[in-house]
């Protein structure tokens, strides 16, 4: 049964990547039932499927469910592998994203900083996951109006990503979109627009209009056009 569960787990993650969230949740819930029955509720393989369920629910904007799954996963991995582990850093980063959408910015910042520190310690300053963690923290800091530190984080993240990834990589596009938000916050609207437009277009094509990543990209564009004094353009983008 565990081999079947692994196959279902892999398929569920594939469906998530394709934006087929309801099907992905159904498969991963079946994996969860099998693994709890076969391994017990605190095994790390149970933690991995809880993590997957948390991410899928974040993608489909079910933030309360996402938070619950991610906290359960984090508790399992904290006990099973200790707090300084790549899987723990990954879960903390994803939980930080969820809490940001739930407007619990202080706790989100704590988790995003802890995730970044763990990635830096385990993988070094220039690793892809470090750049992603810097981008996420910078995005939250911009929401909180802390643009100076956000600019420093984005400069380092963009430098690393542009050296290692193609121009259309979703990680680089997302980092550039956050940089676009930084430019917009400083009134540099014309410079910001292409970054934010590209972020929206890439997410829409890859994930569809209902994915949280696309909704965030849409929100950024709406805020840009509102600040720019272009209400007609802003009206085309929903939060």
* Residues whose CB is less than 8 angstroms from the CB of residue 75 and which lie 6 or more positions away in sequence, other chains included: none
pLDDT tens digit sequence for 188-199: 999 999 999 999
Q: Which residues of 199-235 are buried (b: 16+ CB within 10 A; e: fewer)?
A: bbebbeebbeeebbbbbbbbebbbbbbeebeeeeebe
pLDDT tens digit sequence for 144-154: 999 999 999 99
> What's the confidence (pLDDT) of residue 239?
65
pLDDT tens digit sequence for 71-112: 999 999 999 999 899 999 999 999 999 999 999 999 999 999
- What is the pTM (predicted TM-score) of this model? 0.94
**29, 22 Cβ separation under 8 angstroms:** no
**Cα–Cα distance list, 49 to 59, 127, 232 (Å):** 15, 25, 43
Cα–Cα distance, 187 to 181 (Å, whole number): 10
Mean pLDDT of 107-121: 98
pLDDT tens digit sequence for 18-32: 899 999 999 999 999
- What's the count of helices (H) and strands (E) in the chain, helices before strands? 12, 0
Q: What are phi and psi of 168, to 5 degrees?
A: -95, 5
pLDDT tens digit sequence for 138-190: 999 999 999 999 999 999 999 999 999 999 999 999 999 999 999 999 999 99
């Amino acid at each position: 049964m565990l081999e079947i569960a692994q196959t279902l787990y892999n398929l569920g993650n594939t469906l998530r990547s394709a934006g087929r969230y309801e099907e992905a949740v159904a498969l991963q819930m079946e994996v969860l039932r099998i693994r709890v029955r076969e391994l017990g509720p605190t095994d790390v393989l149970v933690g991995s499927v809880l993590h997957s369920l948390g991410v899928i629910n974040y993608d489909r904007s079910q933030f309360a469910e996402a938070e619950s799954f991610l906290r359960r996963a984090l508790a399992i991995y904290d006990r099973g592998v200790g707090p300084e582990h790549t899987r723990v850093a990954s879960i903390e980063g994803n939980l930080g994203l969820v809490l940001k959408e739930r407007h619990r910015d202080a706790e989100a910042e704590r988790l995003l900083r802890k995730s970044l520190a763990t990635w830096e310690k385990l993988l070094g300053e220039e690793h892809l996951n470090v750049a992603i963690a810097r981008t996420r923290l910078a995005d939250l800091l911009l929401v909180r109006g802390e643009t100076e530190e956000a600019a420093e984080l984005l400069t380092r993240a963009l430098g690393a990503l542009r050296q290692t990834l193609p121009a259309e990589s979703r990680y680089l596009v997302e980092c550039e979109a956050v940089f676009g938000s930084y430019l917009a916050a400083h009134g540099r609207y014309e410079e910001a627009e292409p970054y934010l437009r590209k972020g929206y277009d890439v997410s829409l094509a890859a994930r569809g209009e209902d994915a949280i990543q696309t909704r965030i990209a849409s929100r950024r564009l709406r805020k840009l056009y509102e600040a720019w004094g272009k209400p007609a353009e802003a009206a085309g983008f929903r939060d």
